[in-house]
Structure 1
Amino acid sequence: MSERDAFLCYGVLLAAGQGRRFDPSGVQHKLLQTLPTGQSVLAASASKLFQEFPKSLVVVASEAASIQQNLSELGLPFCVCEDAQEGMATSLVTVLCQVPPDADAVVIALADMPFLDLDTLREIRKHLEAGADIVVPSYQGQRGNPVGFAIKYLPQLLSLQGDRGARQLLQTLPVTEIAVFDPGILRDIDVPADLIDP
Protein backbone atom coordinates (compact mmCIF):
# COMPACT_ATOMS: atom_id res chain seq x y z
CA MET A 1 0.00 0.00 0.00
CA SER A 2 1.37 3.38 -0.97
CA GLU A 3 1.56 6.21 1.54
CA ARG A 4 -1.33 8.02 -0.17
CA ASP A 5 -3.50 4.91 0.08
CA ALA A 6 -3.22 5.21 3.86
CA PHE A 7 -5.96 6.98 5.77
CA LEU A 8 -4.62 10.42 6.72
CA CYS A 9 -6.08 11.69 9.95
CA TYR A 10 -4.72 14.89 11.46
CA GLY A 11 -5.04 15.80 15.11
CA VAL A 12 -5.56 19.36 16.29
CA LEU A 13 -4.98 20.28 19.92
CA LEU A 14 -6.68 23.41 21.23
CA ALA A 15 -4.34 25.10 23.73
CA ALA A 16 -5.27 28.75 23.28
CA GLY A 17 -7.62 29.18 26.25
CA GLN A 18 -6.75 31.53 29.08
CA GLY A 19 -7.75 29.19 31.92
CA ARG A 20 -8.91 32.00 34.20
CA ARG A 21 -11.01 29.66 36.34
CA PHE A 22 -7.84 27.84 37.36
CA ASP A 23 -6.04 31.01 38.38
CA PRO A 24 -7.99 34.27 38.02
CA SER A 25 -4.73 36.24 38.36
CA GLY A 26 -3.37 34.57 35.24
CA VAL A 27 -0.03 33.82 36.92
CA GLN A 28 -0.31 30.02 36.83
CA HIS A 29 -1.38 28.61 33.48
CA LYS A 30 -3.24 25.37 34.00
CA LEU A 31 -1.62 23.68 31.00
CA LEU A 32 1.82 24.02 32.59
CA GLN A 33 0.84 22.49 35.93
CA THR A 34 2.33 19.15 36.92
CA LEU A 35 0.22 16.01 37.11
CA PRO A 36 0.90 13.13 39.53
CA THR A 37 2.74 11.41 36.66
CA GLY A 38 5.28 14.25 36.58
CA GLN A 39 4.12 15.46 33.16
CA SER A 40 2.57 18.83 32.56
CA VAL A 41 -1.11 18.92 31.59
CA LEU A 42 -0.07 20.09 28.12
CA ALA A 43 2.57 17.40 27.66
CA ALA A 44 0.22 14.62 28.76
CA SER A 45 -2.56 15.73 26.44
CA ALA A 46 -0.27 16.32 23.50
CA SER A 47 1.74 13.10 23.84
CA LYS A 48 -1.36 10.93 23.46
CA LEU A 49 -2.69 12.86 20.48
CA PHE A 50 0.66 12.84 18.67
CA GLN A 51 1.18 9.17 19.47
CA GLU A 52 -1.98 8.18 17.66
CA PHE A 53 -1.95 11.00 15.09
CA PRO A 54 1.69 11.92 14.34
CA LYS A 55 0.48 14.57 11.89
CA SER A 56 -0.96 16.82 14.57
CA LEU A 57 -0.74 20.51 15.31
CA VAL A 58 -1.30 22.61 18.43
CA VAL A 59 -2.86 26.08 18.44
CA VAL A 60 -1.81 28.57 21.12
CA ALA A 61 -2.64 32.15 21.97
CA SER A 62 -0.23 34.80 20.71
CA GLU A 63 0.36 36.14 24.23
CA ALA A 64 1.04 32.69 25.75
CA ALA A 65 4.84 32.76 25.47
CA SER A 66 5.26 30.12 28.20
CA ILE A 67 3.02 27.67 26.34
CA GLN A 68 4.89 28.29 23.10
CA GLN A 69 8.20 27.73 24.87
CA ASN A 70 6.96 24.49 26.43
CA LEU A 71 5.82 23.18 23.06
CA SER A 72 9.17 24.09 21.52
CA GLU A 73 10.95 22.18 24.30
CA LEU A 74 8.71 19.18 23.61
CA GLY A 75 9.52 19.46 19.90
CA LEU A 76 5.86 19.77 18.93
CA PRO A 77 4.62 21.92 16.03
CA PHE A 78 2.21 24.71 16.81
CA CYS A 79 0.55 27.70 15.23
CA VAL A 80 -0.37 30.98 16.88
CA CYS A 81 -3.86 32.46 17.08
CA GLU A 82 -3.75 36.25 17.26
CA ASP A 83 -7.38 36.61 18.36
CA ALA A 84 -7.79 33.69 20.75
CA GLN A 85 -9.70 35.85 23.23
CA GLU A 86 -12.60 35.96 20.77
CA GLY A 87 -13.46 32.36 21.60
CA MET A 88 -12.68 28.73 20.95
CA ALA A 89 -14.01 28.83 17.40
CA THR A 90 -11.41 31.44 16.44
CA SER A 91 -8.48 29.28 17.57
CA LEU A 92 -10.09 26.22 15.98
CA VAL A 93 -10.40 27.96 12.61
CA THR A 94 -6.80 29.16 12.90
CA VAL A 95 -5.42 25.65 13.30
CA LEU A 96 -7.78 24.04 10.77
CA CYS A 97 -6.48 26.42 8.12
CA GLN A 98 -3.14 24.63 8.56
CA VAL A 99 -4.55 21.18 7.81
CA PRO A 100 -3.21 19.99 4.42
CA PRO A 101 -5.67 19.35 1.59
CA ASP A 102 -4.77 15.66 1.48
CA ALA A 103 -6.32 15.01 4.90
CA ASP A 104 -9.13 12.47 5.16
CA ALA A 105 -10.23 13.50 8.66
CA VAL A 106 -9.38 15.63 11.66
CA VAL A 107 -9.65 14.84 15.35
CA ILE A 108 -10.21 17.89 17.55
CA ALA A 109 -8.85 17.52 21.09
CA LEU A 110 -8.58 19.82 24.10
CA ALA A 111 -5.24 20.46 25.77
CA ASP A 112 -6.74 20.52 29.26
CA MET A 113 -7.94 16.89 29.10
CA PRO A 114 -4.83 14.88 30.07
CA PHE A 115 -6.65 11.84 31.47
CA LEU A 116 -7.95 10.67 28.09
CA ASP A 117 -7.16 7.04 27.25
CA LEU A 118 -5.13 6.34 24.15
CA ASP A 119 -7.60 3.58 23.28
CA THR A 120 -10.33 6.20 22.84
CA LEU A 121 -8.27 7.96 20.17
CA ARG A 122 -7.74 4.62 18.44
CA GLU A 123 -11.48 3.93 18.46
CA ILE A 124 -12.26 7.34 16.99
CA ARG A 125 -9.71 6.78 14.24
CA LYS A 126 -11.05 3.28 13.53
CA HIS A 127 -14.60 4.54 13.05
CA LEU A 128 -13.50 7.45 10.85
CA GLU A 129 -11.46 5.08 8.73
CA ALA A 130 -14.48 2.78 8.43
CA GLY A 131 -16.49 5.63 6.94
CA ALA A 132 -18.13 7.46 9.83
CA ASP A 133 -18.44 11.20 9.15
CA ILE A 134 -18.50 12.51 12.74
CA VAL A 135 -17.39 10.41 15.70
CA VAL A 136 -18.11 11.35 19.31
CA PRO A 137 -17.10 9.23 22.32
CA SER A 138 -19.54 8.76 25.20
CA TYR A 139 -19.05 7.50 28.74
CA GLN A 140 -22.07 6.28 30.70
CA GLY A 141 -24.34 8.02 28.20
CA GLN A 142 -22.58 11.38 28.31
CA ARG A 143 -20.79 12.71 25.25
CA GLY A 144 -17.25 13.98 25.62
CA ASN A 145 -14.07 14.85 23.74
CA PRO A 146 -12.22 14.57 21.43
CA VAL A 147 -14.40 14.57 18.33
CA GLY A 148 -13.48 13.29 14.88
CA PHE A 149 -14.70 14.85 11.63
CA ALA A 150 -14.44 13.61 8.06
CA ILE A 151 -12.72 16.26 5.96
CA LYS A 152 -15.93 16.94 4.03
CA TYR A 153 -17.08 18.94 7.06
CA LEU A 154 -14.08 21.25 6.95
CA PRO A 155 -16.09 24.12 5.36
CA GLN A 156 -18.63 23.99 8.19
CA LEU A 157 -15.84 23.89 10.78
CA LEU A 158 -14.12 26.87 9.19
CA SER A 159 -17.35 28.89 9.40
CA LEU A 160 -17.71 28.49 13.18
CA GLN A 161 -17.81 31.53 15.44
CA GLY A 162 -17.99 32.20 19.17
CA ASP A 163 -16.93 30.11 22.15
CA ARG A 164 -18.81 26.88 21.55
CA GLY A 165 -16.33 25.43 19.12
CA ALA A 166 -17.57 22.49 17.08
CA ARG A 167 -20.30 21.53 19.56
CA GLN A 168 -22.94 23.41 17.61
CA LEU A 169 -22.36 21.15 14.58
CA LEU A 170 -23.02 18.06 16.69
CA GLN A 171 -26.57 19.26 17.27
CA THR A 172 -27.45 19.47 13.57
CA LEU A 173 -25.34 16.86 11.77
CA PRO A 174 -25.49 13.04 11.88
CA VAL A 175 -23.16 11.70 14.55
CA THR A 176 -21.69 8.26 15.22
CA GLU A 177 -21.59 7.96 19.01
CA ILE A 178 -19.21 5.34 20.37
CA ALA A 179 -19.41 4.10 23.95
CA VAL A 180 -16.01 3.96 25.64
CA PHE A 181 -14.93 2.95 29.13
CA ASP A 182 -12.99 6.16 29.57
CA PRO A 183 -14.07 8.80 32.11
CA GLY A 184 -11.18 10.90 30.77
CA ILE A 185 -13.36 12.05 27.86
CA LEU A 186 -15.33 14.11 30.39
CA ARG A 187 -12.53 15.32 32.66
CA ASP A 188 -10.90 18.65 32.00
CA ILE A 189 -8.72 20.79 34.22
CA ASP A 190 -10.68 23.77 35.51
CA VAL A 191 -9.42 24.18 39.09
CA PRO A 192 -6.29 22.96 40.95
CA ALA A 193 -8.15 20.01 42.52
CA ASP A 194 -8.73 18.61 39.01
CA LEU A 195 -5.01 17.85 38.67
CA ILE A 196 -5.35 14.80 40.90
CA ASP A 197 -6.44 11.64 39.11
CA PRO A 198 -8.96 9.88 41.42
Structure 2
Amino acid sequence: MTGVGGFEAIVLAAGAGTRFGGGKLLAPYGEGVLLDGALRAAFAAPVRGVTVVTGSDPSRVGAAVTAYARQAGCYERLRIVHAVDHAEGMGASLRHGAAALPADTQGVFVFLGDMPRIPVSVLAPLAQAVRDGAPAAAASFGGKRGHPAVIGAALIPQLLTLQGDAGARAVLQGLGDELVLVQAPDDGVLFDVDKPSDLDVGAKK
Protein backbone atom coordinates (compact mmCIF):
# COMPACT_ATOMS: atom_id res chain seq x y z
CA MET A 1 0.00 0.00 0.00
CA THR A 2 1.26 3.46 -0.79
CA GLY A 3 2.05 5.09 2.53
CA VAL A 4 0.30 8.06 4.02
CA GLY A 5 2.88 10.81 4.44
CA GLY A 6 4.35 10.88 7.91
CA PHE A 7 3.11 7.54 9.26
CA GLU A 8 5.45 4.65 10.08
CA ALA A 9 5.21 1.19 11.63
CA ILE A 10 7.35 -0.62 14.18
CA VAL A 11 7.23 -4.41 14.52
CA LEU A 12 8.67 -5.71 17.78
CA ALA A 13 10.48 -8.97 17.01
CA ALA A 14 13.18 -9.03 19.68
CA GLY A 15 11.79 -11.41 22.29
CA ALA A 16 13.30 -14.81 23.04
CA GLY A 17 9.90 -16.51 23.38
CA THR A 18 10.96 -18.19 26.63
CA ARG A 19 7.46 -19.34 27.59
CA PHE A 20 7.09 -20.82 24.12
CA GLY A 21 10.34 -22.76 24.47
CA GLY A 22 12.36 -20.53 22.15
CA GLY A 23 12.16 -19.76 18.46
CA LYS A 24 8.57 -18.55 18.70
CA LEU A 25 8.56 -15.95 15.93
CA LEU A 26 9.99 -18.42 13.42
CA ALA A 27 7.64 -21.27 14.35
CA PRO A 28 5.63 -22.63 11.39
CA TYR A 29 2.30 -20.87 11.04
CA GLY A 30 -0.06 -20.94 8.08
CA GLU A 31 1.98 -20.98 4.90
CA GLY A 32 5.02 -19.40 6.54
CA VAL A 33 6.17 -18.52 10.05
CA LEU A 34 4.43 -16.79 12.94
CA LEU A 35 6.16 -13.44 12.38
CA ASP A 36 4.73 -13.23 8.85
CA GLY A 37 1.31 -12.32 10.24
CA ALA A 38 2.57 -9.19 11.97
CA LEU A 39 4.64 -8.25 8.92
CA ARG A 40 1.62 -8.67 6.67
CA ALA A 41 -0.40 -6.28 8.82
CA ALA A 42 2.43 -3.76 9.13
CA PHE A 43 3.01 -3.54 5.39
CA ALA A 44 -0.74 -3.31 4.80
CA ALA A 45 -1.01 -0.32 7.14
CA PRO A 46 -1.10 3.20 5.65
CA VAL A 47 2.58 3.82 6.37
CA ARG A 48 5.68 4.86 4.48
CA GLY A 49 8.07 2.43 6.11
CA VAL A 50 8.21 -0.55 8.46
CA THR A 51 10.93 -0.81 11.11
CA VAL A 52 11.46 -4.31 12.49
CA VAL A 53 13.34 -4.53 15.79
CA THR A 54 15.33 -7.73 16.29
CA GLY A 55 16.90 -8.95 19.48
CA SER A 56 17.50 -12.50 20.70
CA ASP A 57 18.01 -14.13 17.29
CA PRO A 58 18.92 -11.26 14.94
CA SER A 59 20.44 -13.28 12.11
CA ARG A 60 17.59 -15.74 11.63
CA VAL A 61 14.81 -13.26 12.35
CA GLY A 62 16.43 -10.67 10.10
CA ALA A 63 16.74 -13.21 7.30
CA ALA A 64 13.08 -14.22 7.67
CA VAL A 65 11.95 -10.59 7.65
CA THR A 66 14.03 -9.80 4.58
CA ALA A 67 12.72 -12.88 2.75
CA TYR A 68 9.12 -11.93 3.52
CA ALA A 69 9.57 -8.33 2.42
CA ARG A 70 11.22 -9.35 -0.84
CA GLN A 71 8.52 -11.89 -1.64
CA ALA A 72 5.81 -9.35 -0.84
CA GLY A 73 7.47 -6.67 -2.97
CA CYS A 74 7.93 -4.39 0.05
CA TYR A 75 11.67 -4.59 0.60
CA GLU A 76 12.27 -0.93 -0.23
CA ARG A 77 9.99 0.04 2.68
CA LEU A 78 11.78 -2.18 5.21
CA ARG A 79 14.20 -1.06 7.92
CA ILE A 80 15.74 -3.54 10.38
CA VAL A 81 17.33 -2.38 13.63
CA HIS A 82 18.88 -4.50 16.37
CA ALA A 83 18.18 -3.84 20.04
CA VAL A 84 21.47 -4.84 21.66
CA ASP A 85 19.87 -4.48 25.10
CA HIS A 86 16.73 -6.41 24.18
CA ALA A 87 17.00 -8.58 27.30
CA GLU A 88 15.96 -5.53 29.31
CA GLY A 89 12.43 -5.90 27.96
CA MET A 90 9.98 -4.42 25.50
CA GLY A 91 10.92 -0.88 26.49
CA ALA A 92 14.38 -1.33 25.01
CA SER A 93 12.95 -2.62 21.72
CA LEU A 94 10.57 0.31 21.42
CA ARG A 95 13.36 2.77 22.22
CA HIS A 96 15.45 1.44 19.35
CA GLY A 97 12.50 1.37 16.98
CA ALA A 98 11.47 4.92 17.83
CA ALA A 99 15.03 6.19 17.49
CA ALA A 100 15.10 4.89 13.90
CA LEU A 101 11.97 6.79 12.83
CA PRO A 102 12.27 9.69 10.37
CA ALA A 103 12.16 13.10 12.03
CA ASP A 104 8.90 14.04 10.30
CA THR A 105 6.95 11.03 11.57
CA GLN A 106 3.37 12.09 12.36
CA GLY A 107 2.32 8.81 13.90
CA VAL A 108 3.69 5.30 14.41
CA PHE A 109 1.89 1.96 14.49
CA VAL A 110 3.26 -0.50 17.07
CA PHE A 111 2.81 -4.16 16.13
CA LEU A 112 3.84 -7.19 18.19
CA GLY A 113 5.58 -9.98 16.32
CA ASP A 114 3.57 -12.72 18.04
CA MET A 115 0.16 -11.35 17.01
CA PRO A 116 -0.53 -12.91 13.58
CA ARG A 117 -4.24 -12.18 13.12
CA ILE A 118 -4.56 -8.39 13.11
CA PRO A 119 -7.51 -7.52 10.81
CA VAL A 120 -6.36 -5.17 8.08
CA SER A 121 -9.65 -3.25 8.12
CA VAL A 122 -8.84 -1.67 11.50
CA LEU A 123 -5.59 -0.07 10.33
CA ALA A 124 -6.80 2.90 8.27
CA PRO A 125 -9.30 4.05 10.95
CA LEU A 126 -6.52 3.99 13.55
CA ALA A 127 -4.34 6.25 11.43
CA GLN A 128 -7.29 8.51 10.66
CA ALA A 129 -8.02 9.01 14.35
CA VAL A 130 -4.51 10.33 14.94
CA ARG A 131 -4.66 12.39 11.75
CA ASP A 132 -7.86 13.94 13.11
CA GLY A 133 -6.10 15.05 16.27
CA ALA A 134 -6.14 12.18 18.75
CA PRO A 135 -2.83 11.82 20.63
CA ALA A 136 -3.06 8.05 20.13
CA ALA A 137 -5.46 5.33 19.05
CA ALA A 138 -5.73 1.61 19.72
CA ALA A 139 -7.73 -1.30 18.38
CA SER A 140 -10.31 -2.89 20.67
CA PHE A 141 -12.71 -5.82 20.68
CA GLY A 142 -15.34 -6.91 23.16
CA GLY A 143 -14.59 -3.96 25.41
CA LYS A 144 -10.88 -4.84 25.68
CA ARG A 145 -8.06 -2.72 24.33
CA GLY A 146 -5.78 -4.62 21.99
CA HIS A 147 -3.17 -4.07 19.30
CA PRO A 148 -1.95 -2.38 17.28
CA ALA A 149 -1.75 1.09 18.73
CA VAL A 150 -0.87 4.25 16.84
CA ILE A 151 1.20 6.79 18.77
CA GLY A 152 0.95 10.39 17.60
CA ALA A 153 3.96 12.65 17.06
CA ALA A 154 3.63 14.47 20.39
CA LEU A 155 4.01 11.19 22.29
CA ILE A 156 6.84 9.64 20.27
CA PRO A 157 9.51 11.24 22.51
CA GLN A 158 8.06 9.20 25.38
CA LEU A 159 8.91 6.01 23.49
CA LEU A 160 12.56 7.06 23.63
CA THR A 161 12.50 7.03 27.44
CA LEU A 162 10.82 3.66 28.08
CA GLN A 163 12.54 1.34 30.53
CA GLY A 164 12.28 -2.34 31.38
CA ASP A 165 9.31 -4.23 30.01
CA ALA A 166 7.16 -1.12 29.62
CA GLY A 167 5.75 -1.11 26.11
CA ALA A 168 3.32 1.23 24.39
CA ARG A 169 0.91 0.58 27.27
CA ALA A 170 3.06 2.83 29.46
CA VAL A 171 2.47 5.70 27.04
CA LEU A 172 -1.24 5.03 26.54
CA GLN A 173 -2.36 4.43 30.10
CA GLY A 174 -2.30 8.08 31.12
CA LEU A 175 -4.39 9.35 28.21
CA GLY A 176 -7.80 8.47 29.61
CA ASP A 177 -10.61 9.50 27.27
CA GLU A 178 -8.12 11.10 24.89
CA LEU A 179 -7.15 7.64 23.69
CA VAL A 180 -9.40 6.77 20.74
CA LEU A 181 -10.48 3.13 20.64
CA VAL A 182 -11.31 1.70 17.22
CA GLN A 183 -13.61 -1.31 17.25
CA ALA A 184 -12.13 -4.26 15.36
CA PRO A 185 -14.22 -6.80 13.43
CA ASP A 186 -12.80 -9.80 15.31
CA ASP A 187 -10.61 -10.84 18.24
CA GLY A 188 -7.43 -10.87 16.17
CA VAL A 189 -6.50 -7.62 17.91
CA LEU A 190 -6.38 -9.54 21.21
CA PHE A 191 -4.88 -12.86 20.08
CA ASP A 192 -1.21 -13.52 20.69
CA VAL A 193 0.88 -16.67 20.82
CA ASP A 194 2.47 -17.58 24.15
CA LYS A 195 2.77 -21.36 23.90
CA PRO A 196 2.91 -23.88 21.03
CA SER A 197 -0.74 -24.91 21.44
CA ASP A 198 -1.76 -21.32 20.64
CA LEU A 199 -0.50 -21.84 17.09
CA ASP A 200 -3.25 -24.37 16.45
CA VAL A 201 -5.91 -22.12 17.99
CA GLY A 202 -4.87 -19.19 15.82
CA ALA A 203 -4.64 -21.22 12.64
CA LYS A 204 -8.24 -22.42 13.04
CA LYS A 205 -9.64 -18.88 13.24
Same fold by TM-score greater than 0.5: yes
Gaps of 5+ in 2: 70-77
Q: When the two structures are aligned, how many residues end up with a matched partner?
A: 189
Deviation, structure 1 residue 54:
4.2
Structure 2 counterpart of 1:13, from 8, 11, 21:
11
Identify, as 1 or 2, the structure richer in helix: 2
Aligned identity (percent) is 32
Q: Give secondary structure in 1 for the equivalent of 2:28.
A: coil
Aligned residue type for 1:14: L
* CA deviation after TM superposition for structure 1 residue 190, in Å: 0.5
CA distance in 2, matches of 1:84, 1:62: 7
How far apart are residue 62 of structure 1 and its match? 5.6
Question: Following the alignment from structure 1 to structure 2, what is the Cα–Cα distance between the partners of residues 161 and 19?
Answer: 19
**What's 1:138 paired with?**
140
What does 1:104-119 correspond to in 2, within 5 Å? 104-119=106-121
The amino acid that maps onto 1:19 is G
Preserved CA contact (<8 Å) 2:12 2:53: yes
CA distance in 1, matches of 2:49, 2:171: 24
1:77 corresponds in structure 2 to 79
Any residues of structure 2 matched to 1:30-49 within 5 Å, and which? 30-35=24-29, 37-49=30-42
SS at match of 2:130: helix
Distance apart, 1:135 and its partner CA: 0.1
- Quickly say closer, same or farther: Cα 1:54–1:74, change in 2 above 3 A: farther
Alignment of 1:16-31 (within 5 A): 16-23=14-21, 26=22, 29-31=23-25
Q: Which runs of 4+ in 1 moved over 6 A?
A: none
Q: Hey, what's the Cα distance between the residues in 1 that align with 2:14 and 2:119?
A: 22
- 2:167 corresponding residue in structure 1: 165
TM-score (norm 1): 0.89
**Residues 43-95 of structure 1, C-alpha deviations (whole Å, 9 max, x = no match):** 12102211223411100016432112212222443111101000100010001
